[in-house]
Amino acid sequence: MEVASITELSRALENRGAAIIGVDGYLGVGKTTVATRLSKQTGYSCVHLDDYLVPHKGGFVENLYLPALKTVIGERPIIIEGLCLLEVLERLQINADFLVYVTGISASRKDLDKKVFDETDRYLQAYQPTKRAEVIFNMDKYNSNSSNEIDLAYIKAKTAISIILAIGGILSILVGALVFVLGLQGGDTALIKAAGVEVSAKGIGGVILGTSAVWAYLAYLVRPQYSRKREVKESKKDDGSVERHEFESSTQTGARSDKNA
């Protein structure tokens, strides 16, 4: 089963009675994000294997402080996330009741310790977590959906503001024209007299009409803009190969960045 939202994942957990939920995945794919947000939605405690790693030793599983980790995992229900999760749980003699495997864009091999990458590759070959997982969480789709939701809300807000400004411009034209015509029909007598200054109806009408151009310009500035472009992303597969994904995007953000380029 594949999901692409925390809500879907939470629903998949319902009625399963899972006391230990494991969140596995490749380096930098988003395991921590999924586990943390799932923890907030379910109220379950969350444990990150990285918090029990002795730093600067090279490698991962061998450098975890397992006694402290096992004590913390004694709490139930609990979410556990981290690299080589099935191997770590095996060493702790603990089984996950529900396994989530996170897929998507992974960290670059240039960014992290080569030993950790090699260890993770060996783990994927030996434990095959994607085949053992109850749920595959597609992080690429999750990120895309989140980005689209934010972008759509932004575009809707800009559209509403643009419409309001356009309506303001139309009203200023109508009111300005009405005052101007009334000024002509009434002999253009002064409507306002203060501090020795008189303003005629035609003058007021002309000013109001002039502001309509400002309203129109502001409406033009805040209008939503779209830019369509093709993007390529790469994701790491269990066998160590890299899979390329080509897709097309069209967003307000893209329009702005394209202009500035």
* 91 and 126 together in one domain: yes
Range with the poorest average pLDDT among 87-91, 124-128, 174-178: 174-178
Same domain for 240 and 210? Answer: no
219 has a pLDDT exceeding 50 = yes
DSSP string, 184-201: HHTTT-EEEEETTEEEEH
- Please report whether residue 141 resides in a domain: no
> Which CATH number is 93's domain given?
3.40.50.300
Q: Is residue 138 part of a domain?
A: no
Question: pLDDT by residue (tens digit) across 3-14?
Answer: 888 999 998 988
Mean pLDDT of 67-79: 89
- Let me know whether 111 and 52 are in one domain: yes
Of residues 198 and 104, more confidence is placed in 104
16 and 116 in a single domain? The answer is yes
pLDDT of residue 183: 67
Phi then psi for 128, rounded to 5 degrees? 45, 60
Give the tens place of pLDDT for each residue, 105-123: 765 555 566 888 889 999 9
Distance of alpha carbon 61 from alpha carbon 180, whole angstroms: 82
Whether residue 125 is found in the same domain as residue 238: no
Q: Is there a single domain that holds both residue 19 and residue 126?
A: yes
Residue 30 pLDDT > 60: yes
Q: What pLDDT does 152 receive?
A: 53
The number of domains in the chain is 3
Q: What is the pLDDT of residues 121-164, one digit of tens each?
A: 999 999 999 999 999 999 888 877 654 444 555 566 767 787 88
Domain that holds residue 239: 227-260
Assess whether pLDDT exceeds 90 at residue 259: no
Name 81's bridge partners.
23, 48
Q: Which of 67, 102, 133 is the last residue of a domain?
A: 133
Contact 4, 37 (CB under 8 A): no
Q: Out of 67, 101, 133, pick the residue that ends a domain.
A: 133
